[in-house]
Chains A and B, each alone.
Chain A
Amino acid sequence: MKKYIVKRLFLLVPTLLGITFITYLMIRLAPGDYTKLQLGMEGALKSGSISKEILEQEKKLYGLDKPIVVGYAEWLWKFARLDFGTSRKDGRPVAQRIADALPITLTLNIITMIIIYIISIPMGIISAVKKGSLYDRFSSLLLFVLYSLPHFWIALLLLLYLGSGEYLNLFPLGGIHSDWAGGAGPLVRFLDFCWHLVLPVITLTYAEFAFLARYTRANMLEVINQQYIMTARAKGLSEKKVVFVHAFRNSLIPLVTLMATLLPGLLGGTVIVESIFSIPGIGMLSFEAILSRDIPVIMAITTIAAVLTLLGILLADLMYSLVDPRIRLEAKL
């Protein structure tokens, strides 16, 4: 087992190198670069030769005059020392910008994930047990309706009806803290924070129930028709015990696979929700960075996401063996 983990960890290195190099290559090859964007259309370039000289100077400042491989090597060397460089936009260290944005996104996503799991897994189980019943049909219809409602629309409706004061005035119109919360006590600040999170969390969760609930339902159905379930029933176990102990546990394996995508998903963030609710999270940060070709920020976020994805996959593989002892890890390599 230990040997396996060490081996897998070593394998992460070339994968990570590949991912970061391809990312770097793509940003550098994409049309448009930071300096040109800064000059924009209003780049009052006076007389040809001199302005070109200025443009070259500017490119040099950002290292855009170097060949791609050299640029990547320099980035890698810095990264090896855990230095992500400084952001083009505001000249602050990239690590600090990410440290500002990450906790907000993490909090939002963890709350969202918990709610999704708490609600959709039981729904899926009940649907499977009562397959074909009115409940089953109605709940899946409802979930799919929710699934197909666009985020930005729901978010704006929520704001209009629950936040704007034109109908109800229950929630703030965005942000994560009230302006006055700075000087308040920790409890008040925490409550204020929760108050601001309600609408974004609703927006992030409502559409996600469908997938997980249907997934659980399908897995459960498969398990429920197994002979050992019949045996359990024949033993005279209560229905509750049959469903939750014998059936559900065995339907967990595919859910574990899902967990693997969970980790990077936590970082992902959603640009739309963050932008509508004015939440300064990772989604907005990376979106802005890509649009403005802010290479250090793009590289840092991609790298962190890549590491998390790779670790997530590893974690899922390890968890397989926990959930199902029949799966042997050594054999897989």
Chain B
Amino acid sequence: MQPRPLLTIIFAAIAFLPAGCARLAPAKDPHTLYMHMGAEPGTLNPITATDAYSHSINLRIYETLVDREYDTLKIIPQLAERWEISPDHLTFRFYLKKGVRWSDGVEFTADDVVYSYERIKDPKVACAQLKVYYIDIRKCLKIDRYTVEFVYSRPYYLALVFCGGMPIVPKHIFDTGVDFNTHPNNRHPVGTGPFRFDSWSTGKNITLVANERYRGAKPEIRRVVYKFISEPSVALQMLKKGDLDVMGVREIEWVRQTNSRKFNEKFYKKKYFMSSFSYIGWNESRVFFQDRRVRLAMTHLINRKEILDKLLFGLGEIVTGPFYIFGDSYNRDLRPWPCDPARAKQLLKEAGWEDHDGDGILDRNGKKFSFTFTISSGSKFAERLTSILKEDFSKVGIEMDINRYEWAVFLDKIQSRDFDATSLGWSDPDFQDDPYQIWHSSQIEGGSNYIGFSNREADRIIETARQEFDPAKRVKMYRRFHAILHHEQPYTFLYTMPALAAVSRRFDNVKVHKRGMNFVEWKVRSTQ
């Protein structure tokens, strides 16, 4: 047959390809950091961006008026050098640092702040997720070139964090008459931070380089490449091979795939807790879960310790409430309800749920205790959790079906309160603590209190705490609030899971702060 020589050439070429191409690669620059990113952000405009990915990149490019110290969370100056708060806690006046330059050389002034505020308020700008934080601001005024003032319509203890943390974009770049939502600079940001945007190769990576005009200490890392790798197991291979320097690893990888000596010689393993928790929410508008005793019984039926060990390799901590477990507001006097099926049965009986007709399923007034657990089909944890629960519940005569929905549909079901029970998580990345959005009864319609929790004392605590400026007093209120939740069990609180990360030992000074890691302070280890 004729094609043989050709085939041989092709095979030879394929065989040669790996050796040839691998040799072409130049040596790696030690000052470049390769970060893993699970998905590609849509935009790098801090006002319209919604996902955590763009947030983590924007954090390096853009700055805000104030920042929070990495360990103490104290509010510290960033673009503002100081600020004044009126005695009624309604007016916030910021004095901006002079001579701060955007990475294109233009000076940062009060006009940029006011312009950014106006964009957030602009109905044509797609940033609903941000707008809600600024509803209470009545106006934002330019006093002079280096002074701005925010006026609130009511006092709120987080007001300084919100107006001081407002994203700020350069007016001279964006105010050109082009639609803000699709502005070309949304994909080519200009900021004041330690890094400046270099390039964006769609579907592959985003590269930042050190900002020469940055006024602060210059980071040792000169270049950061964020690589988009959607498949976590492939990302881990890349990390091991040296194509990535930093990535968050999953529980199973932490326990099973990153313990070799070789791995630990090349990488630090960092484990730290942020403010987040997972839970099972019982919809209180359903006949089963209206009664506190039933909700408590459900908690007693769930073996949280065993599920933690089995599904999550014992890495997390069982929590009793919504606050950061190592924070002040968390009430440490409360112990998690134990797994106690006998007590659960008794509670159910007290609430009227018994097997009257002898069919093996509890009932009350002719209604069977048969409910549906709604989960997002993407969540492996929820999938495995519910199959354990289904079996445990059936032992005491509770029938449970599992409904899986794609994320968008799932969200729709939850937001329209069309579910019996569900499992999800909340995170509070800025340690703000304020329970208003999730727990206040006014948030049942249209807010995030979709399980319909309503408690008069809890409402009162939430409202007064929002206007309480003494942290010690607020902590006391929140501990009481935590106790109410523990008693009422609107959620069965599950776990707070640690962030697990692997970082290349090419770097030194890799510290874990309360707010997490910060590569700006990392040192590049000199190669031998």
Given contacts A48-B442, A88-B42, A278-B231, 14 further A-B contacts (CB under 8 A): A32-B411, A37-B407, A44-B448, A50-B135, A51-B132, A51-B135, A61-B124, A91-B43, A92-B182, A159-B237, A165-B241, A173-B238, A174-B238, A284-B203
Q: Kindly count the residue-residue contacts between A and B in the assembled complex, taking CB atoms under 8 Å apart.
A: 187
Beta-carbon contact of A37 and B17 below 8 Å: no
Q: A275 to B447: give the CA distance in the assembly, Å.
A: 35
Beta-carbon contact of B128 and A58 below 8 Å: yes
B residues contacting the other copy or chain, number (CB 8 A): 65
Q: Is B126 among interface residues, defined by CB-CB distance under 8 A?
A: yes
Q: Is A163 among interface residues, defined by CB-CB distance under 8 A?
A: yes
Q: A180 to B32: give the CA distance in the assembly, Å.
A: 13
Beta-carbon contact of B234 and A47 below 8 Å: no
CB distance from A89 to the nearest CB of B (A): 4
Chain A residue at smallest Cβ distance from B187: A90
Q: A52 to B446: give the CA distance in the assembly, Å.
A: 7
Beta-carbon contact of A36 and B187 below 8 Å: no
Q: Is B413 among interface residues, defined by CB-CB distance under 8 A?
A: yes
CB distance from A318 to the nearest CB of B (A): 29
Beta-carbon contact of B240 and A278 below 8 Å: no
**Set of chain B residues within 8 Å of A330, measured between Cβ atoms:** none
Chain B residue at smallest Cβ distance from A52: B446
Q: A36 to B436: give the CA distance in the assembly, Å.
A: 20
**Set of chain A residues within 8 Å of B202, measured between Cβ atoms:** 97, 100, 280
CB distance from A98 to the nearest CB of B (A): 12
Q: Is B131 among interface residues, defined by CB-CB distance under 8 A?
A: yes
Given contacts A32-B409, A174-B238, contact A180 B18 (CB under 8 A): no
Chain B residue at smallest Cβ distance from A179: B225
Question: Per-residue 0/1 for A31-42: is the Cβ within 8 Å of any B Cβ (1 yes, 0 no)?
Answer: 111011111111
Beta-carbon contact of B243 and A191 below 8 Å: no
Beta-carbon contact of B187 and A175 below 8 Å: no
Beta-carbon contact of B412 and A276 below 8 Å: no
Q: Is A188 among interface residues, defined by CB-CB distance under 8 A?
A: yes
Beta-carbon contact of A31 and B237 below 8 Å: no
Q: Is A107 among interface residues, defined by CB-CB distance under 8 A?
A: no
**Which 3 residue pairs are nearest across A and B when measured between Cβ atoms?**
A280-B203, A32-B408, A91-B182
Q: Is B358 among interface residues, defined by CB-CB distance under 8 A?
A: no
Beta-carbon contact of A191 and B234 below 8 Å: no
Beta-carbon contact of A164 and B409 below 8 Å: no
Within A93-112, the residues touching B (CB, 8 Å) are 97, 100-101
Q: A48 to B449: give the CA distance in the assembly, Å.
A: 11
Q: Is B424 among interface residues, defined by CB-CB distance under 8 A?
A: yes
**Set of chain B residues within 8 Å of A62, measured between Cβ atoms:** 126
Beta-carbon contact of A51 and B447 below 8 Å: yes
**Set of chain A residues within 8 Å of B436, measured between Cβ atoms:** 46
Beta-carbon contact of A41 and B407 below 8 Å: no
Q: Is B14 among interface residues, defined by CB-CB distance under 8 A?
A: yes
**Set of chain A residues within 8 Å of B136, measured between Cβ atoms:** 46
Beta-carbon contact of A48 and B225 below 8 Å: no
A-B contact pairs, 6 of them (CB 8 A): A31-B413, A32-B412, A38-B126, A159-B237, A164-B241, A278-B231
Beta-carbon contact of A180 and B17 below 8 Å: no
**Set of chain B residues within 8 Å of A276, measured between Cβ atoms:** 231, 234
Question: Per-residue 0/1 for A174-199: is the Cβ within 8 Å of any B Cβ (1 yes, 0 no)?
Answer: 11111110001000100110110010
Q: Is B12 among interface residues, defined by CB-CB distance under 8 A?
A: no
Chain A residue at smallest Cβ distance from B202: A100
Chain B residue at smallest Cβ distance from A181: B24
Given contacts A30-B409, A38-B50, A278-B234, contact A45 B20 (CB under 8 A): no
**Set of chain A residues within 8 Å of B48, measured between Cβ atoms:** 91
CB distance from A203 to the nearest CB of B (A): 12
**Set of chain A residues within 8 Å of B238, measured between Cβ atoms:** 173-174
Binding site for A on B (CB under 8 A): 14, 17-18, 20-22, 24-26, 42-43, 48, 50, 123-124, 126, 128-129, 131-133, 135-136, 181-183, 186-187, 202-205, 225, 227-231, 233-234, 237-238, 240-241, 243, 406-409, 411-415, 424, 426-427, 436-437, 442-443, 445-448
Q: Which of B25, B228, B408 contacts A37 (CB 8 A)?
A: B408
CB distance from B263 to the nearest CB of A (A): 10
Beta-carbon contact of A86 and B234 below 8 Å: no
Q: A90 to B40: give the CA distance in the assembly, Å.
A: 10
**Set of chain A residues within 8 Å of B20, measured between Cβ atoms:** 191, 195
Q: Is A15 among interface residues, defined by CB-CB distance under 8 A?
A: no
CB distance from B125 to the nearest CB of A (A): 8
Q: Is A291 among interface residues, defined by CB-CB distance under 8 A?
A: yes
Beta-carbon contact of B408 and A31 below 8 Å: yes
**Set of chain A residues within 8 Å of B131, measured between Cβ atoms:** 54
CB distance from B408 to the nearest CB of A (A): 3
Q: A51 to B182: give the CA distance in the assembly, Å.
A: 24
Question: Per-residue 0/1 for A111-138: is the Cβ within 8 Å of any B Cβ (1 yes, 0 no)?
Answer: 0000000000000000000000000000
Beta-carbon contact of A43 and B128 below 8 Å: yes
Q: A47 to B445: give the CA distance in the assembly, Å.
A: 9
Within A15-32, the residues touching B (CB, 8 Å) are 30-32
Q: A245 to B406: give the CA distance in the assembly, Å.
A: 53
Chain B residue at smallest Cβ distance from A281: B203
Question: Per-residue 0/1 for A243-276: is the Cβ within 8 Å of any B Cβ (1 yes, 0 no)?
Answer: 0000000000000000000000000000000011
Beta-carbon contact of A41 and B448 below 8 Å: yes
Which of A44, A175, A177, A280 has the most C-beta atoms of chain B within 10 angstroms of its own C-beta? A44
CB distance from A176 to the nearest CB of B (A): 8
